[in-house]
């Protein structure tokens, strides 16, 4: 009804009708009163009806305001002219914007995990599951995360590696194998994988004495059960190098290959930068360990060198503003100035870790050994490792190492999820075992004899 009609027919309209017109906004109670035709009885009844309507409106709003979009829409339907319609519409807009933002966040998280299953830690993934951002079903179906990895999210127990004491000198007459790399570059896990594969192939015997427990713990990190249930250790921040003596012998061979493997602490690896820059080492322990390493490198034992580069770190600056390539370049400069490779080095390899994350421009995984090698080489060129690579190449050419050719190896533990959960695959670790078998000569003397005396 129009306002003029209502005002001219107050006596003909019931209190219920007039209250309804007021609620719909067609007229106000004040306008009705100003006509002088609204008696007190009808006015009081209109007030009671409006109050009851408002009370029902408020009660419905208290329920709807904490609900979802559907409950808010139900409120608007029941009270199209209600006192809280504007608030309800604002809340609907807020929920829609939040929903769109959450959808965009979820899509971004899923895309990151699809491209790199180590984009988030187990704690972050568990938080996303708990707050409903992701479900385990979505992680499995949309991101390709295996059920075994999801089942182990709350079962992770990182290995507590017991580090062995590094000797003052390396026994003479046995090949020294050096694993170089910064903190978190993956050399510790690579060493564990190599030991595991060598044991599975029946080649491995670990010498008692220094590093014995550490070596056993490393190899036992990995199982070969095709399940994502192996838990990786965190980077070791200590400044001590680890020494692991062991032998490799094929089943039908009479003599074994003796290996003195030195895993360089990432902290000590950084000391090459301090040395070149004339900056004091952080502690006396750093200095002592660095000097010990320098004496190892001067020994007459034959040597193999593996330099580990973390593919996933993308050569970004650390807390000191220095990148992986800065530390590698510093080491290369030290090696060149001190002629580390001049007489005793038989092989140099650059190992690009986490090759399971290699993808092409379309997001497809790089597979095949040759394709991975090409990809690793291009990665080193594109990520500012050229100076380091060129320095090692020059050493290879100058001292006829590797036939004058620098070798690049892609390396993977298999598939790693959320930075800590691994489904071990030893195929690429077996390549390093093959190199040790090929490049280290068998000898009647065994390093086991040295430590078993």
Q: Is residue 291 within 8 Å of 282, Cβ to Cβ?
A: no
Element (H, E) at 262: strand 257-263
- What pTM did the predictor assign? 0.81
Phi-psi bin for 222: left (phi > 0), alpha (psi -120 to 50), beta?
A: beta
Pairing of strands 175-180, 303-310: parallel
229: Cβ contacts below 8 Å, ≥ 6 apart: 148, 152, 223, 421, 423
Return per-residue pLDDT of the chain as tens, 453 residues.
788 887 888 877 887 887 778 778 788 878 878 888 888 778 878 877 878 788 788 888 988 988 899 999 998 998 888 888 999 999 999 999 999 998 999 999 999 999 899 999 999 999 999 999 999 999 999 999 999 999 999 999 988 899 888 888 898 989 999 999 988 889 999 999 999 999 999 999 999 887 899 999 999 999 988 999 999 998 777 788 899 999 999 998 999 999 999 999 888 888 999 999 999 999 998 998 899 999 999 999 999 999 999 998 777 888 888 888 898 899 999 998 889 998 899 999 999 999 999 998 888 889 899 999 999 999 999 888 999 999 999 999 999 999 999 999 999 999 999 999 999 999 999 999 999 999 999 998 888 877 665
Please count the other Cβ atoms lying within 10 Å of the Cβ belonging to residue 382: 10
Token representation of residue 294:
């320098």
35: Cβ contacts below 8 Å, ≥ 6 apart: 7, 10
Strands (E), 265-420: 303-310, 345-353, 407-410, 414-417
State the Cα–Cα distance between residues 179 and 196, nearest whole angstrom: 16
State the Cα–Cα distance between residues 355 and 164, nearest whole angstrom: 29
Please count the other Cβ atoms lying within 10 Å of the Cβ belonging to residue 376: 23
């Amino acid at each position: 009804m129009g306002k003029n009609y209502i005002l001219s027919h107050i006596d003909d309209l019931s209190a219920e009708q007039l209250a309804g017109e007021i609620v719909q906004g067609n007229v106000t109670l004040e306008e009705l009163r100003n006509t002088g035709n609204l008696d007190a009885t009808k006015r009081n009844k209109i007030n009671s009806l409006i109050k009851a309507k408002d009370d029902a409106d408020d009660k419905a709003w208290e329920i709807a305001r904490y609900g979802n979009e559907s409950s808010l829409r139900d409120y608007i339907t029941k009270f199209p002219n209600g006192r809280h319609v504007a608030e309800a519409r604002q809340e609907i807009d807020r929920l829609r914007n939040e929903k769109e933002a959450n959808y965009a966040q979820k899509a971004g998280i899923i895309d990151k995990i699809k491209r790199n299953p180590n984009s988030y830690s187990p704690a972050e993934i568990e938080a996303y599951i708990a707050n409903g951002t992701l479900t385990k079903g979505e992680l499995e179906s949309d991101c390709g995360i295996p059920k075994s990895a999801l089942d182990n999210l709350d079962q992770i127990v990182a290995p507590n590696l017991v580090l062995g004491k590094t000797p003052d000198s390396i026994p003479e007459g046995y090949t020294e194998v050096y694993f170089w790399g910064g903190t978190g570059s993956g050399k510790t896990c690579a060493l564990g994988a190599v030991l595991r594969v060598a044991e599975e192939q029946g080649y491995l015997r670990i010498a008692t004495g220094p590093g014995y427990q550490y070596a056993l713990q490393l190899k036992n990190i990995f199982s070969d059960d095709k399940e994502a249930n192996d838990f990786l250790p965190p980077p070791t921040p200590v400044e001590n190098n680890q020494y692991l003596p062991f032998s490799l012998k094929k089943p039908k061979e009479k003599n074994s290959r003796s290996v003195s493997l030195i895993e360089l602490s990432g902290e000590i690896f950084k000391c090459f930068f301090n040395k070149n820059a004339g900056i004091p080492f952080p502690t006396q322990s750093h200095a002592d360990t660095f000097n010990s390493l320098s004496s190892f490198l001067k020994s007459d034992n034959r040597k193999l060198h593996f330099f580990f580069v973390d593919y996933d770190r993308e050569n970004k600056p650390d807390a000191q503003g220095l990148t992986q390539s800065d530390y590698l370049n510093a080491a290369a400069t030290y090696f060149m100035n001190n002629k580390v490779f001049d007489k005793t080095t038989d092989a140099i390899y650059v190992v690009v870790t986490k090759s399971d994350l290699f993808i092409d421009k379309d997001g497809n995984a790089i597979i095949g050994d040759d394709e991975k090698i090409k990809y690793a080489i291009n990665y080193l060129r594109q990520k500012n490792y050229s100076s380091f690579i060129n320095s090692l190449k020059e050493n290879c050419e100058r001292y006829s190492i590797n036939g004058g050719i620098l070798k690049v190896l892609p390396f993977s533990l298999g598939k790693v999820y959320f930075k800590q959960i691994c489904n071990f695959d030893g195929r690429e670790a077996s390549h390093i075992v093959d190199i040790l078998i090929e490049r280290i000569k068998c000898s009647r003397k065994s390093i086991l004899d040295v430590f078993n005396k």
